[in-house]
């Protein structure tokens, strides 16, 4: 059922509208904010005064004005608030600290032993985060909270990682509760793809885009979507599982129970397996000497590097993967009709251009509505680990992004 | 960029919230409305008084109350407003009139000659609509408007049908302008699948569902989605083209330029073609005698009827179609994570149960998040032509449904 709205909800919403106008600009005047948002000059003035009093916004310069006195420009105060982002990946953990503008101030990466107990790892993450904050001299009361990005699916209501692929120890881990216990800040948990998309929205290609999809190529393949200015999560918070779009109906069995899923055909493990098969058959490749020293040495990174450098065997496998990704992109275009598709995640390293070119070509020639509108493709350029930066952005987003859902949140007990 | 909200937008929104509470109920008191919507008793009272004064709502009975005087119950006044729905399908035209509750009061169907000029047809539709309204005694000033449902893609900003499949004469027809000219009411144009979904939301399975997808099986195959209580249309208003999800990568070429699209594999034309091939090969079938009298006699309707009655040839083809539809349903589940998938459109007649059972089975066993939440499947039960009823519902929906987008609509000139 629908809920009504009221003045307090409206007030909070408008504050965030003003703040997001300032956030998206490189210095903006009160008059321009009023023009952009449709709020009255008086409302903007009252809100800005409060934001300045609270130290969230600063007057940072002035713009020439036609006739009158110069207009003061406003910027977000970077030191107004900080957030921590933690990305738990099956193989490594990344931790970043960002300021109020979403800029990365410090980061730490470490490889993980699969034998590590989740609770031990979470404790360790909390220690690293506190050390990063201490080194930066960030006072605890300026830390808005911690975002944690994990492989999905996630039960957000309980902060549980429910059944992550390839990581049995993490089944049913109450990550939100544990992390909150060890780190002593508020915690938001989301899957890695949603985190990366929020990061992209906050400080990447998605900044001025209200509808975009994110195809997240990590150890597995996930996805996320910003629809009408908000992450769309679905009823059980598991929307955007583009990795389980079937691209080859009779293809490789997938752990999900289906066959030929994008992830089963295109994950780093699948790519590595396919190249190993070629090399075992004795195909001529720049990777052959490495393979003869030990198959494990020809890993996903080595393969992507070889493909980028023109090795035929690696390139053929990567080209096929690019075609499957393009098939999925066309399905995303036909179903979601978004403005932008962002390709990101660690598995695009070295091969991003190959993927981008093939996807671009498919999106120009195959979606039904291509004549009305062509979906744009971009490769994420965020940091070394977009999901960690995104996890930190989740905290800023939850606190400061205008969210129409909050205007009409369901009353308690309804 | 985000827009702020203000008191007038908030007021309109809350009126629609109250109205939709009344609409969804079978008689509801002011106290219950306040509980459901989170609005104060005073706000509800003021809004209800205005709705009664305007004749939109009626006091219709009373509920026993604990201790005090009985509570008056409220209902929508069916005669408060009327809407016309017109569905232009490549082969036929359906016109319905509904009252304020979305109930169908009168309808008319007619087969269309492909030779008919669009403008002649639109003129004819306007005449039929006015005749239906006159027969019902509906005064013109009570007609809120006319909804027109057409095969997509549609350029909504200009009210153009841009390039409908299999109907060259309709390319670039300014349907909104023409229909408005002939019918002399406000006109809303949308594609058939969106119309059917809005109808389902207004008076079908979608009534209490905030996230659902609609797979529309008509002459072609389309789709629509209600996400977070609103139709999601995408940036170029062409979201939900589930008919162009590829289910057989090397399958039949589709008019869209791709191969193996759901529509190419499963449209009535594809089904008929596949059955004709079997019959031409002399397979034993209850349809053989009819086929020998003339291949054209074995049409989609005859095939679906034969499949429902157990004919092996027809059933085999329909079963394969059901599997493709199920493949597409699994993709919808993995990408959109909605509560409900509605199967509708004329092409489900006679075979709805076969499709529903196969889709249900797939959705129980294949989507990644099936353990967290199983997507429910339902077959539309709306009227003889769900898209026509839906087209009329579009008018009610546009006027009365609470729409958070309107709370924050972009100011003119921004």
Nearest chain B CA: its distance from A6 CA (Å)? 7
- Cα A247 to its chain centre, rounded Å, is 24
State the pLDDT confidence band at A411, using cuts at 50, 70 and 90. Answer: very low
State the pLDDT confidence band at A146, using cuts at 50, 70 and 90. Answer: very high
Nearest chain B CA: its distance from A50 CA (Å)? 17
Residue of A nearest to B211 (CA): A235
Q: Which two structure tokens, joined as six digits, stand for B83?
A: 């809407």
Per-residue pLDDT tens over the stretch B303-343? 999 999 999 999 999 999 999 999 999 999 999 999 999 99
- Output the pLDDT for position B270: 98
- Output the pLDDT for position A382: 78
| Dihedral sign computed on CA atoms, order A251, A255, A256, A262 | negative
Rounded to whole angstroms, the Cα distance separating B139 from A194 reads 52
Over the Cα atoms of chain A, what is R_g?
23
Kindly tell me if the per-residue pLDDT of A409 is higher than 60: no
- What is the full DSSP assignment across B65-87? -SSSSPEEEEEE-GGG-EEEEEE
Chain A with chain B: Cβ pairs closer than 8 A? 247
Kindly tell me if the per-residue pLDDT of A61 is higher than 70: yes
Range list of H helices, B258-311: 262-266, 268-280, 288-293, 300-308
- What is the full DSSP assignment across B135-196? HHT--GGGEEEEEEEESS-EETTTTEE---TT-GGGTTB-HHHHHHHHH-S-EEEEEHHHHH
> CB count, 10 Å around CB of A165?
19
For residue B228, list chain A residues with Cβ-Cβ distance below 8 A. Answer: 228, 230, 232, 405
- Output the pLDDT for position B414: 33
**Cβ-contact B217, B177 below 8 angstroms:** no
- Output the pLDDT for position B277: 97
> CB count, 10 Å around CB of A248?
17
Contact B38 A411 (CB under 8 A): yes
State whether residue B77 is helix, strand or coil. Answer: coil
Residue (of B189, B202, B227, B174) closest to A337 by Cα position: B227
Rank A45-59, A215-229, B304-318 by mean pLDDT and report only the highest.
B304-318
A96: which DSSP letter? E
Side-by-side strand order, sheet with B340-344: B230-231, B221-227, B212-217, B340-344, B376-379
Whether cis (ω within 30° of 0) applies to the bond prior to A153 is yes
**Cβ-contact B27, B73 below 8 angstroms:** yes
Burial of B305 (0-12, 13-18, 19+ CB in 10 A): middle
Nearest chain B CA: its distance from A129 CA (Å)? 32
Residue (of B364, B124, B224, B316) closest to A337 by Cα position: B224
Contact A407 B407 (CB under 8 A): yes
- What is the full DSSP assignment across A307-332? HHTT-HHHHHHHHHHHHHHHHHHHHH
Per-residue b/e over A137-147, b at no fewer than 16 CB within 10 Å? ebeeeebbbbb
Q: Which two structure tokens, joined as six digits, stand for B47?
A: 């809004």
Among the partner residues B20, B246, B337, nearest to A331 by beta-carbon distance: B246
Contact A232 B236 (CB under 8 A): no
State the pLDDT confidence band at A412, using cuts at 50, 70 and 90. Answer: very low
- Output the pLDDT for position B408: 61
Taking each helix axis from N to C end, the angle separating A192-203 and A386-400, rounded to the nearest 10 degrees, works out to 70
Q: Identify the helix (H) or strand (E) that includes residue A11.
A: helix A7-24
Residue (of B218, B206, B310) closest to B266 by Cα position: B218
Q: What is the β-pairing status of strands B143-150 and B82-88? A: parallel
State whether residue A341 is helix, strand or coil. Answer: strand
Burial of B54 (0-12, 13-18, 19+ CB in 10 A): exposed
Burial of A108 (0-12, 13-18, 19+ CB in 10 A): middle
Kindly tell me if the per-residue pLDDT of A168 is higher than 80: no
Rounded to whole angstroms, the Cα distance separating B275 from B270 reads 9
Provide the β-strand partners of residue A147. Answer: A85, A188
Q: Which residue has the higher pLDDT, B7 or A117?
A: A117
- Output the pLDDT for position B405: 67
- Output the pLDDT for position B367: 92
Q: Which two structure tokens, joined as six digits, stand for B413?
A: 């000139």
Q: Identify the helix (H) or strand (E) that includes residue B94.
A: strand B92-99
For residues B74-82, give the mean pLDDT: 93
Contact B404 A402 (CB under 8 A): no
Q: What is the β-pairing status of strands B57-63 and A154-155? A: unpaired
State whether residue B86 is helix, strand or coil. Answer: strand
Per-residue pLDDT tens over the stretch B382-403? 766 788 999 999 999 888 877 7
Kindly tell me if the per-residue pLDDT of A79 is higher than 80: yes
Contact B338 A235 (CB under 8 A): yes
Provide the β-strand partners of residue A146. Answer: A84, A187
Rounded to whole angstroms, the Cα distance separating B37 from A125 reads 42
Nearest chain A CA: its distance from B290 CA (Å)? 35
Contact A407 B257 (CB under 8 A): no
State the pLDDT confidence band at A326, using cuts at 50, 70 and 90. Answer: very high
Which range, of A159-173, A186-200, B37-51, averages the lowest pLDDT? A159-173
**Cβ-contact B306, B282 below 8 angstroms:** no
**Cβ-contact B216, B263 below 8 angstroms:** no
For residue A4, list chain B residues with Cβ-Cβ distance below 8 A. Answer: 13-14, 17-18, 37-39, 43
Whether cis (ω within 30° of 0) applies to the bond prior to B153 is yes
**Cβ-contact B397, B202 below 8 angstroms:** yes
Rounded to whole angstroms, the Cα distance separating B205 from B191 reads 20
State whether residue B254 is helix, strand or coil. Answer: coil
**Cβ-contact A48, A57 below 8 angstroms:** yes
For residues A54-67, give the mean pLDDT: 80
Rounded to whole angstroms, the Cα distance separating A113 from A216 reads 23
Taking each helix axis from N to C end, the angle separating B268-280 and B312-336, rounded to the nearest 10 degrees, works out to 150
Provide the β-strand partners of residue B343. Answer: B215, B379
Q: What are the phi and psi torsion angles at B47 (to 5°)?
A: -65, -45
Rounded to whole angstroms, the Cα distance separating B206 from A349 reads 44
- Output the pLDDT for position A104: 93
**Cβ-contact A241, B369 below 8 angstroms:** yes
Rounded to whole angstroms, the Cα distance separating B312 from B286 reads 9
- Output the pLDDT for position A246: 97
- Cα A326 to its chain centre, rounded Å, is 20
Q: What is the β-pairing status of strands A230-231 and A221-227? A: antiparallel
Q: Choosing among A7, A216, A236, which should be mutated to test the B contact, i.e. which has the most B CBs within 10 A?
A: A236
Rounded to whole angstroms, the Cα distance separating A405 from B45 reads 25
Per-residue pLDDT tens over the stretch B126-175? 999 999 999 999 999 999 999 999 876 777 666 677 666 555 667 778 88
Q: What are the phi and psi torsion angles at A66 (to 5°)?
A: -65, 105
Residue (of A404, A326, A372, A413) closest to A12 by Cα position: A404
For residue A250, list chain B residues with Cβ-Cβ distance below 8 A. Answer: none
Task: Give the mean pLDDT of chain A.
Answer: 89
Nearest chain A CA: its distance from B273 CA (Å)? 23
**Cβ-contact A349, A304 below 8 angstroms:** yes
State whether residue A150 is helix, strand or coil. Answer: strand
Rank A111-120, A147-156, B77-86 by mean pLDDT and report only the highest.
B77-86
State whether residue B399 is helix, strand or coil. Answer: helix
A1: which DSSP letter? -
Range list of H helices, A337-385: 352-365
Q: Choosing among A22, A234, A409, which should be mutated to test the B contact, i.e. which has the most B CBs within 10 A?
A: A234
């Amino acid at each position: 059922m629908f809920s009504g709205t009221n003045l307090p909800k409206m007030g909070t919403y408008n504050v965030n509208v003003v703040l997001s106008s300032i956030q998206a600009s490189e210095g903006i005047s009160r008059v321009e904010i009023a023009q952009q948002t449709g709020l009255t000059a008086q409302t903007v003035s009252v809100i800005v005064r409060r934001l300045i009093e609270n130290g969230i916004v600063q007057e940072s310069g002035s713009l020439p004005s036609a006739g009158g006195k110069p207009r003061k420009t406003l910027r977000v105060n970077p030191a107004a608030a900080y957030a921590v982002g933690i990305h738990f990946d099956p193989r490594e953990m990344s931790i970043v600290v960002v300021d109020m503008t979403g800029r990365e101030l410090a980061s730490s990466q470490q490889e993980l032993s699969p034998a590590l107990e989740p609770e031990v790892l979470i404790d360790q993450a909390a220690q690293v985060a506190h050390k990063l904050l201490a080194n930066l001299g960030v006072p605890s009361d300026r830390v808005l909270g911690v975002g944690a990005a994990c492989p999905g699916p996630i039960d957000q209501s309980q902060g549980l990682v429910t059944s992550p692929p390839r990581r049995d120890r993490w089944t049913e881990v109450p990550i939100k509760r544990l992390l909150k216990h060890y780190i002593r800040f508020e915690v938001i948990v989301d899957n890695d793809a949603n985190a990366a998309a929020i990061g992209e929205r906050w400080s990447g290609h998605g900044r001025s885009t209200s509808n975009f999809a994110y195809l997240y190529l990590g150890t597995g393949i996930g996805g996320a979507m910003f629809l009408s200015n908000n992450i769309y999560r679905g009823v059980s918070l598991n929307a955007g599982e583009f990795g389980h779009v079937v691209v080859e109906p009779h293809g490789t069995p997938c752990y999900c129970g289906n066959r030929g899923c994008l992830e089963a055909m295109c994950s780093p493990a699948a790519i590595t397996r396919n190249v190993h098969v070629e090399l075992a058959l004795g195909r001529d490749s720049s990777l052959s000497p490495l393979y003869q020293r030990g198959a494990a040495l020809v890993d996903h990174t080595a393969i992507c590097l070889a493909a980028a450098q023109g090795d035929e065997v690696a390139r053929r496998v990567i080209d096929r993967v690019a075609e499957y990704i393009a098939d999925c992109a066309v399905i995303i275009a036909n179903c979601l009709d978004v403005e932008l598709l962002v390709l990101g995640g660690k598995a695009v390293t070295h091969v991003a251009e190959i993927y981008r070119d093939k996807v671009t070509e498919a999106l120009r020639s195959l979606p039904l509505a291509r004549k009305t509108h062509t979906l744009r493709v971009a490769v994420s350029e965020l940091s070394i680990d977009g999901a960690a930066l995104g996890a930190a952005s989740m905290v800023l987003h939850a606190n400061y992004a205008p969210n129409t859902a909050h205007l009409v949140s369901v009353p308690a007990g309804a």
